[in-house]
A and B are shown apart, each in its own frame.
Chain A
């Protein structure tokens, strides 16, 4: 699967209520960020965890979040990055 987003793109993490295995931490769901890096595609961990082979592979992105966007309070000059798979991201215009 080709990467859909590029560095600098504004994205929003889906606020899906997935309770089975996934690698999208709850504290970032529904939060807005910017694509910092584009990595290759990786087997989908949500399938791997249940003995499936994880296709289609999902492009992985490092997303940078402003601290205030994540926690709703200020921390001086602080950014949080996390690695989020493409199917958890939507474009944020």
Chain B
């Protein structure tokens, strides 16, 4: 098997064994990889898009990651006016703060987790996910198991993520069934009042912005 560096499934920028079977190493079935390649080459040949367009899109997709969401969350925690704007109309608030263009990305709503209400997002129909601010969804988010179970037994699913919430906290499972994408604004952990915005960013995880976990300040390292 040749090692094809133009393959969009290929995870660039890391060291790997050039003799490893590429498709298996990346969890892509050979028939899927072949189908992708055939389709890609046809679309380029028919001028639907160019190889450069594709490369740009891959780079754009790869530039989106949970760090963006974390920056937005930390800013919302420290600036109540910004938080209000973010919860009212997320896209312009994110665009102006991060200096990125979300014009071509789907509509986005940020939902706030509080001591009374905990949101967890999912897409039971497919794998809709706030890619603009969290990047590519984790494999478990797209699994049939998560999608089926999080709406049918949410407290059990959350417990498996180590999230056990008291009965007086309402769980809101947010199924992104249509054009709206959702990101969770996690509850700011206790005892972080002294922390700077930059320090807060380091606490915020992807899973907390999906809502499967809550953030807890870990013990300071000694």
- The interface of chain A, by Cβ under 8 A from chain B, is 23-25, 27, 37, 39-40, 42, 45, 60, 62, 64, 70-71, 75-85
The answer to the question of B151 belonging to the interface, with a C-beta cut-off of 8 Å to chain A, is yes
B153, B172, B177, B180 pick with most chain A CB within 10 angstroms = B177
Q: Are A78 and B154 in contact (CB under 8 A)?
A: yes
Taking CB atoms, residues of chain B closer than 8 Å to A64 are: 172
A-B CB proximity, top 3 nearest: A83-B178, A82-B175, A42-B179
Partner of B171, one of A78, A82, A83, A85: A78
- Residue contacts A-B, CB under 8 angstroms, 25 given: A25-B125, A25-B177, A27-B151, A37-B109, A39-B109, A39-B179, A60-B180, A64-B172, A70-B151, A75-B153, A75-B154, A76-B167, A77-B167, A77-B168, A77-B169, A77-B171, A78-B154, A78-B155, A79-B170, A80-B151, A81-B172, A81-B175, A83-B175, A83-B178, A85-B178
Determine the distance from Cα of A70 to Cα of B109 in the docked complex, in whole angstroms.
24
Complex interface bits, B142-179 against A, C-beta within 8 A gives 1, otherwise 0:
00000000011111000000000001111111111111
**Given the complex of chains A and B, what is the CA–CA distance between A77 and B167 in angstroms?**
6
Instruction: Among B168, B173, B179, point to the contact of A81 (Cβ < 8 A).
Output: B173
- The answer to whether B125 and A23 touch across the interface, beta carbons within 8 angstroms, is yes
Chain A residues whose C-beta falls within 8 Å of the C-beta of B172 in the assembled complex: 64, 78-81
Mark B residues whose CB is within 8 Å of A.
107, 109, 124-125, 151-155, 167-180
* Interface of chain A, main secondary structure: strand
Known A71-B152, A77-B167, A79-B170; 14 more pairs at CB < 8 Å? A25-B124, A37-B109, A39-B109, A39-B180, A42-B179, A45-B178, A62-B180, A77-B169, A77-B171, A78-B154, A78-B173, A81-B173, A82-B177, A83-B178
A23–B173 alpha-carbon span in the complex (Å): 17
A27 to B175, CA, bound (A): 11
Please name the residue on chain B nearest to A79 by beta carbon: B172
Tell me the nearest residue of chain B to A39, going by C-beta. B180
CB-CB under 8 A from B152, the residues of chain A are 71
Residues of A within 8 A of B169 (CB): 77
Contacts of B171 in A (CB 8 A): 75, 77-79
A25 & B153 in contact (Cβ 8 Å cutoff): no
Known: A75-B153, A78-B155. A23 touches B170 (CB 8 A): no
Q: Provide the residues of chain A in CB contact with B173, threshold 8 Å.
A: 78-81
Q: What is the chain B residue whose CB lies nearest that of A45?
A: B178
Most chain A C-beta atoms within 10 Å of own C-beta, residue among B107, B151, B174, B178: B178
Complex CA distance for A70 and B167, rounded to whole angstroms: 19
